[in-house]
Amino acid sequence: MILPTDPIENLSALIRCPSVTPTEGGALTALANMLEPLGFSIERTVFSESGTPDIHNLYARRSGNGPHLMFAGHTDVVPPGDESAWKHPPFSASIDNGEIYGRGAVDMKGGIACFVAAVARHIAEHGVPASDDKELKGGTETSPLKGSLSFLITGDEEGPGINGTVKLLDWAARRGEHWDAALVGEPTNPNRIGDMIKIGRRGSVSGTLTVRGVQGHAAYPHLAENPIRGLVTLIEALLDPALDTGTEDFQPSNLEVTTIDVGNAATNVIPAKATASFNIRFNDSWTEETIMAEIHNRLDRAAASNKLRSDRETPVIYDLVWSERPSPVFLTRDEKLIGTLSASIEAVTGRKPELSTSGGTSDARFIKNYCPVVEFGLVGRTMHMVDERAALSDLEMLTRIYQRFLKDFFA
């Protein structure tokens, strides 16, 4: 039996599946075909919710006596954009000058491909014969892993995150699954393999601010109320002063205005309303509740002390709508998980990785409610870009790190 020990072949098969969120595109089927020869029991689930697309997910487990390690990730990818701008077609898995091109090569089909290869090599290295029925069915007597290993893979990480990891975790936990640790294969390294492990993430919350005025002719401002004045006043209050200066484990919180819109195509009309959307990435100085309360306080103070029109004291009237599912801040402090992975990286690369909480959110924000979780994967410089690609040498190195980590974690 041929085992999926080559990360390049594994990644090629995954890239060729056009699994743009929410389409499965054959990617989970390709992954299942890799895991079945390794003795994993595989279950496919589809979760639904009104107003959101159905999402395909995969849970695979190989059981043994000892700790249970989860590898988590996603096979869905962002759209390729203008395909004519790509050097190679985004779902061709073309290899050029030592790199493999394709949407998802880095984020994060590459991490999945490497972990599968690492598991396959670990099993092959221990010489368990493929004809051992007990072993192929996930038996415990001859398992070279000396523990349990599971893959928790969603098709909704790049989407709304409603019918993916969060529901798959709940589904598995209700069936009696318990994990001792989790590794997410997101691209964490800024420049080279071994630079960085993500041991936590700042929280995230988004809102949309709407200021209402009175529409009118731009030549007769006394007959109108310009909501843009009030919106600018409120935005200034959100941005100044800074939310904080950072903490021991996290960089400073930041609020970024991401859209401003009045829906006005005419230059001689004062609009009736103006809106702005913003996103906050907050550190452990805050919780979801306290950061949202701070924003309301800033807006209320600014709205009461300012006016829409210069000739009349008119408080700014605004609406604030928070988007659903704010992401909490979290920090992993599990010494076995972090220490073992750090040592494995250093053994393969000679570099001691930085322990970081930088960057955006990931599905680790859901996993942390079930077990300690860290993230480590490929170099992320080209993720979501045209010509997303991964170096073949990086795929091999990441596979060797994962293989060493498996050996040391289950030692």
Residues making up the binding site for Zn(2+): 74, 107, 158, 186, 384
For the chain, the maximum distance between any two Cα atoms, rounded to a whole number of angstroms, is 87
For residue 391, the SS3 value is strand
Residue by residue, DSSP assigns 185-240 as ----BSSSTTSEEE-EE-EEEEEEEEEE-B-EETT-GGGSB-HHHHHHHHHHHHHS
Helices 392-409 and 7-15 cross at an angle (nearest 10°) of 110
Looking at 24, 99, 156, 157, which residue is catalytic? 157
* Cα 298 from Cα 291, distance rounded (Å): 11
Taking the C-alpha atoms of 163, 164, 166 and 171 in order, what is their torsion angle to the nearest 10 degrees? 90
Residue 384, C-beta contacts closer than 8 angstroms, at least 6 positions apart? 78, 107
Q: Given its phi and psi angles, is residue 138 left (phi above 0), alpha (psi -120 to 50 degrees) or beta?
A: left
Residue 376, C-beta contacts closer than 8 angstroms, at least 6 positions apart? 183, 184, 185, 188, 189, 196, 197, 198, 341, 345, 353, 401
Helices 7-15 and 27-35 cross at an angle (nearest 10°) of 150
Q: Is 408 a catalytic residue?
A: no
Taking the C-alpha atoms of 217, 221, 227 and 230 in order, what is their torsion angle to the nearest 10 degrees? 160
Element (H, E) at 409: helix 392-409
* Cα 277 from Cα 275, distance rounded (Å): 7
SS3 content of the chain, % helix, strand, coil (to 5): 30, 25, 45
Looking at 6, 24, 76, 294, which residue is catalytic? 76
For residue 340 the two structure tokens come to 């073992």
Burial call 333-343: b when 16+ CB within 10 Å, e when fewer = ebeebbebbbe
Q: Is 36 a catalytic residue?
A: no
Instruction: Give the residue numbers marked as catalytic.
Output: 76, 157
